[in-house]
Amino acid sequence: MDSSFNKVFEVNTSCSRDSLWKILSRTESIPEFWHGTRWIKHIQGNSYQIRFAFPAKGIVDFTYDSERNIAKERYKKGPFKGEKIISIIADNEKTIIRVEWNVRFAIPYSILAGKMRNHMSQGTDNAINRIISAATGSQ
């Protein structure tokens, strides 16, 4: 049984890179857009404790590369381990938001891997749409 979630989401938008980056580079705004995250609490450095919408907590490191417009989340402890990479890519007159998940589910979540993958896919689609909507309103 495959207990991983490896998927890339790409959405074209007319939003500016700057308006998108203002949202994506703010750790504290994650629960507003990613509803699978109930809250985050700073521990030290780049490390945060995270509380998911389903009853689980984890530890995640957040890093931001403003030169390349890349936000990385490295999940170190919790229901899954691995990373989520969010990129903003300029493509002619459009902008692409790219979200790449590469995580492995821990037991007992690995037993429900199919449902977890579907839930995370739908949550990612919804988060991207909320981010685009907010960025559109700030332009």
Give the mean pLDDT of 29-43: 96
Residue 14 and residue 19: Cα distance in Å, rounded? 11
pLDDT at 15 over 70: yes
Sequence-separated (6 or more) residues with CB below 8 Å from residue 122: none
pLDDT in tens, 56-75: 999 999 999 999 999 999 99
pLDDT in tens, 71-89: 999 999 999 999 999 999 9
Give the mean pLDDT of 129-136: 96
What pTM did the predictor assign?
0.93
Domains and their CATH numbers in the chain:
4-26+61-138 (3.30.530.20)
Residue 122 and residue 132: Cα distance in Å, rounded? 16
Write out the two tokens for 125.
């689609």
Q: Average pLDDT of the chain? A: 94
